[in-house]
Amino acid sequence: MSNSIVVQFAAYGALGSGNENKLNANNVTNTLQNLLNTGSPSVTINNATMGGDPSPGDTKNFGALVAVNGTPYAFGCMEGQTINFAAQNSSFTVSFAVYGALGGGNENKLNATNVTSALQTLLNTGPTVTINNTTMGGDPSPGDTKNFGALVTVNGVQRAFSCQEGQTVDFSTFAP
């Protein structure tokens, strides 16, 4: 029996030169659906398959909400990675995740980044994640201790998670 795969939303792009005010991303919902309609559930995410380069010179990121047999799953990866949309074994869906700090403790210097797709990619491979600059894709606030917060659906139940940089979270510990 083949899987019914329906793309609800997909985006591909980057922050131009890392500038938070220069979002270079494309809605690739139809592009992804057309690729999945060819019969293969595996798609390599790159400029060729996603219809072009929305941010030349920058490493692109991909995020999608895809229903597999009627159940919605979140997918995320970096440019060059391959996703098998039919092999969704993760019982974790990341709604939102952020990682950062107040620069120098200044309440007006917000240095945080959206790490939703990075966390989803990590949770697709296992429930335990160490929160640090490497796993979260970089250091949004050099010299400051970073904080992490996420809203994750675990086995159908939405849970809030938070910790400090360097801590390890076992997201399955909080499963119902």
Specify whether 78 is located in the same domain as 103.
Answer: no
pLDDT for 90 equals 58
Domain boundaries, position 31 = 5-84
Specify whether 77 is located in the same domain as 96.
Answer: no
User: In total, how many domains does the chain have?
Assistant: 2
> How many Å apart are CA 158 and CA 139, to the nearest integer?
27
For the chain, helix, strand, coil in percent to 5 are: 15, 45, 40
pLDDT for 1 equals 46
Specify whether 164 is located in the same domain as 101.
Answer: yes
Predicted TM-score (pTM) of the model is 0.55
What is the chain's pLDDT, residue by residue, as a tens digit (176 residues)? 467 899 999 999 988 887 777 889 999 999 999 999 998 899 999 999 999 999 999 999 998 888 888 777 778 788 998 888 886 555 788 889 999 998 888 888 889 999 998 998 898 878 899 999 999 999 999 999 999 999 998 877 788 999 999 999 998 876 44
Specify whether 115 is located in the same domain as 158.
Answer: yes
Query: Interior CA angle at 7 toward 97 and 73, to 5°?
Result: 40
CB 80 within 8 Å of CB 44: yes
pLDDT for 137 equals 94
CB 138 within 8 Å of CB 100: no
Task: Give me the amino acid identity at 167.
Answer: Q
